Structure 1
Amino acid sequence: MEGLFLITPNLFKAQPNSYNAVKIQVISNNNFQKDRESLYYFHSRNIPESKNNEDGMNIGLENVIKLFYRPKGLSMSPSMAFSKPKFTFNGSQLVVENNTPYHINLASLTINKVAIKLNKENNILYPFSTSTFSTIKQKGMVKWSVFNDLGGLDEFSQKIN
């Protein structure tokens, strides 16, 4: 994200029972694609205070947050895009086409109630791209749920013959 965003404050001390806000501001939108969303990852690291005279264990944590930059004037709404993936079969592969300008962040994907294993490597359908998933099912009802802009889940289904 270097050179694309200004993140302030870049370092702060968190006091017990308090909170801090981080502001992420676009420096220049000339560096982003205009016809689709762009995806970045924001890493927030917690470095524990070190006190030499105490016994115990210090644990550092890292939070990784998906950060989507959405240009103005895209051809459809995000909620409409989430319902638009096209599902087909090619042998033992489920082929999923995302012909929208949005990232579709899958929470679940099933064929005839059999779950397809999703992980951080395959759970995002990128704009204007095709993804494949191995499966033994070759027809039936495909159901998928996506994380929406508010963090909730939207569910959809499509019958494949």
Structure 2
Amino acid sequence: MRLKVAAFTALAACFWLPQLQAGVNVGTTRVVYQGKDKEANLSLANTDDDSPYLVQSWVSPYDNRDISADEFIITPPLFRLDAKSQNILRIIATNVQHLPGDRESLFFVNVKAIPAVSAEQHSQNVLQIALKTTIKLFYRPEHLKGSLKEAVDQLQWSVDDGKLSVRNRSGFNVVVSEVLVNNTLNKDLPEVIRPVSTLQSSQALKAGDKIVLSYINEYGSTVKADPVTVH
């Protein structure tokens, strides 16, 4: 059965993408909101030659993408982005007083776009597909000490009951690209090693094994850390 969809509330399909490729492009893969700043910005561009898009944006908690976070607002929350044009989303912290001051807090920025219905399509049965992207939003408190690189260098890799364990004593989120144990890819650790936390993998580990972590820095680049030998 063919469907005609003309609004966000009646979407028949929605894709999760690292970047909106079909017309609307997000200018970065992550946003670091510095606590001392009044806002953080995110650029959007419609590279389509003739189709405008309706764009809706909001912030959600990292652990629950289905709800809107109370800590931030995005302006404009809903707008039309014409073909071959750009716009800036302003992410504004409105209720961050309760967030920890000694570590980063992690959220998602969600951007949903749907192409406009042309005059010809008004008389046809067509399927309008909304494209949705999510990128990480790191809220970094003003007085947080250290750096992400220092946090990675200070990760404590160890053997815990014969299994791989890693402890992050810093206030920074470490986003994992890959972990190699003796040149074998570990597929068990979560994507993010959260601040002041310890994670354990099911992968067997013994003293003398070598670990190489590749992580994603603030600019979205993959960085390979120095190898670590477990003692």
Fold match, TM over 0.5? yes
| Structure 1 residue 85 corresponds to structure 2 residue 152 | no
* Match of residue 135 from structure 1: 203
* Match of residue 219 from structure 2: 150
| CA apart distance, 1:56 | 4.7
What is the CA–CA distance in structure 2 between the aligned matches of 1:124 and 1:45, rounded to whole Å?
24
What is the CA–CA distance in structure 1 between the aligned matches of 2:113 and 2:79, rounded to whole Å?
10
What is the CA–CA distance in structure 2 between the aligned matches of 1:65 and 1:55, rounded to whole Å?
33
Distance change in 2, residues 1:61/1:118 (3 Å): farther
* Match of residue 42 from structure 2: none
What is the CA–CA distance in structure 1 between the aligned matches of 2:198 and 2:83, rounded to whole Å?
46
Distance change in 2, residues 1:56/1:26 (3 Å): same
| CA apart distance, 1:105 | 0.5
| Structure 1 residue 74 corresponds to structure 2 residue 141 | no
Unaligned runs of 5+ in 1: none
SS of equivalent residue, structure 1 residue 127: coil
Aligned pair count reads 159
What is the CA–CA distance in structure 1 between the aligned matches of 2:129 and 2:197, rounded to whole Å?
39
Whether the 8 Å contact between 2:99 and 2:105 is mirrored in structure 1 is yes
Whether the 8 Å contact between 1:107 and 1:145 is mirrored in structure 2 is yes
Q: Percentage identity across aligned positions?
A: 25
Listed as ranges, the matches of 1:57-136 within 5 Å are 57-117=127-187, 122-136=190-204
| CA apart distance, 1:9 | 0.3
Residue identity opposite 2:183 in structure 1: K
Residue identity opposite 2:192 in structure 1: I
| CA apart distance, 1:79 | 1.8
* Match of residue 35 from structure 1: 102
Query: 7-16 or 136-145: which moved more?
Result: 136-145
Flag the structure with higher strand content.
2
C-alpha RMSD of the superposition = 1.9
Deviations 1:2-46 (A, max 9, x none): 431121000011222222221101124413211110011111111
Aligned with 1:19 (options 57, 78, 86): 86
- TM-score (structure 2 length as normaliser): 0.63
Whether the 8 Å contact between 1:108 and 1:118 is mirrored in structure 2 is no
Residue identity opposite 1:109 in structure 2: V
What is the CA–CA distance in structure 1 between the aligned matches of 2:125 and 2:84, rounded to whole Å?
23
Whether the 8 Å contact between 1:4 and 1:31 is mirrored in structure 2 is no
| CA apart distance, 1:102 | 0.6
Query: 57-66 or 101-110: which moved more?
Result: 57-66
